[in-house]
């Protein structure tokens, strides 16, 4: 669906996107993940035909986004960052205008608008003025707009920014449902969002792609990390000494819990399992063991691991 090769975009002296290459297959929900200013929005603006790249190539459904821009734009539903809308129009008026602009035939327009209103849960506010809607509803109007011409590809730039947790959940569910019919490229810096909605993640940092895989595989990268959490009752110093003495344990952190149990975090190298040793040492010392579990690595850890790793190096380069 999307093929990007060596895409580079330079603004006056700043390289926003630096030789990025990736593909998104038909039917995928692909998460575009990165800290603010990583080049997510720029890449999306290029793909949607708003501006061309400095160099490199990008095609959508086999059409080049620079030379066949209008052709590409009829196939894309793009929702820019901050979801700009005309505040002075009614919801149906706005969607009617956008549908006409995107070439939905007059005869089909009304039915199609009813369909997207239904899909986005906007039926109750169809006569309301866009500017007076709550942020959550506005966001859905933006989504409805990007959907109205039934595009093959949806490009959504931070669609859940500024929403409250309930609205975020609703929008995510909506995106998930849309993923059954459309290919979606969604950008965000909120990690749980990607874990929940996407079946592939591209992590971009400082204009470069640093990782690209399924969320599961990415978390697995760190999952081998054998960090274990335990709740133990006993004498603190003795416990710390005992745990540190275990084979493979690199570090132990102990903090007091709410009751007389201590919470211990035991750091061990990847692909090792120190749980058995922890149990044995607890049994030998007659400590009461209440919890013993591996810490599940989230995408958040992967993200921090990948993006932080590079940051200090770059800073030194600057000096």
Interface with other proteins (CB under 8 A): 11-12, 45, 48-52, 70-71, 73-74, 76, 78, 80-82, 84-89, 97-98, 100-103, 145
Residue 36 CB, shortest distance to other proteins, in Å, is 17
Residue 79 CB, shortest distance to other proteins, in Å, is 8
172-209 burial, b at 16+ Cβ within 10 Å, e below that, comes to bebbeebbeebbbbbbbbbbebbbbbbbbbbbbbbbbb
Contacts of 36 (CB under 8 A, 6+ apart): 189
Residue 51 CB, shortest distance to other proteins, in Å, is 5
Of 38 and 65, CB closest to other proteins: 65
CA neighbours closer than 13 Å in the CB half-sphere of residue 111: 5
Give the gyration radius of the chain's Cα atoms.
Answer: 25
Of 122 and 278, CB closest to other proteins: 122
Residue 182 CB, shortest distance to other proteins, in Å, is 16
Of 82 and 173, CB closest to other proteins: 82
What's phi and psi for 229, nearest 5 deg? -115, 140
Residue 62 CB, shortest distance to other proteins, in Å, is 17
Of 138 and 277, CB closest to other proteins: 138
Strands 208-213 and 228-233: unpaired
Residue 198 CB, shortest distance to other proteins, in Å, is 22
Of 88 and 164, CB closest to other proteins: 88
Of 2 and 264, CB closest to other proteins: 2
Neighbours of 130 (CB within 10 A): 20
CA dihedral 177, 81, 122, 89 (to 10 degrees): -150
Residue 251 CB, shortest distance to other proteins, in Å, is 48
Contact 122, 141 (CB under 8 A): yes
Q: Where are the alpha helices (DSSP H) in the chain?
A: 40-47, 69-75, 91-101, 106-119, 135-147, 165-178, 191-197, 215-223, 236-244, 275-285, 299-318
Of 149 and 206, CB closest to other proteins: 149
The Cα-based distances of 229 to 87, 188, 255 in angstroms read: 51, 30, 11
């Amino acid at each position: 669906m999307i093929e990007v090769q060596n895409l580079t975009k330079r603004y006056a002296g700043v390289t926003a996107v630096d030789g990025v290459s990736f593909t998104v297959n038909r039917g995928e929900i692909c998460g575009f993940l990165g800290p603010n200013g990583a080049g997510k929005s720029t890449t999306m603006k290029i793909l949607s035909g708003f501006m061309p790249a400095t160099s490199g190539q990008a095609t959508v459904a086999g059409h080049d986004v620079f030379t066949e821009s209008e052709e590409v734009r009829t196939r894309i539903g793009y929702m820019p960052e901050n979801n700009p809308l005309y505040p002075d129009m009614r919801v149906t008026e706005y969607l009617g205008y956008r549908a006409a602009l995107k070439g939905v035939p007059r005869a089909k327009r009304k039915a199609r608008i009813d369909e997207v209103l239904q899909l986005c849960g906007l039926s109750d506010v169809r006569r309301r003025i866009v500017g007076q809607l709550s942020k959550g509803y506005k966001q859905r109007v933006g989504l409805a707009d990007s959907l109205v011409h039934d595009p093959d590809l949806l490009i959504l730039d931070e669609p859940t920014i500024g929403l409250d947790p309930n609205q975020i959940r609703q929008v995510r569910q909506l995106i998930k449902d849309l993923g059954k019919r459309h290919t979606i490229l969604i950008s965000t810096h909120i990690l749980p969002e990607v874990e929940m909605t996407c079946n592939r993640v591209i992590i971009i940092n400082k204009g470069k792609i640093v990782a690209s895989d399924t969320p599961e595989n990415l978390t697995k990268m760190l999952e081998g990390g054998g960090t274990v959490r335990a709740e133990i009752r006993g004498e603190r110093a003795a416990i710390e000494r005992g745990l540190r003495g275990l084979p493979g344990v690199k570090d132990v952190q102990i903090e007091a819990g709410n009751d007389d149990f201590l919470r211990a975090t035991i750091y061990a190298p990847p692909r090792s399992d120190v749980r058995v040793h922890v149990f044995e040492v607890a049994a030998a010392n007659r400590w009461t063991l209440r919890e013993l579990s591996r810490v599940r690595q989230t995408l958040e850890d992967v993200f921090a691991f990948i993006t932080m790793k590079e940051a200090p190096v770059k800073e030194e380069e600057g000096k």
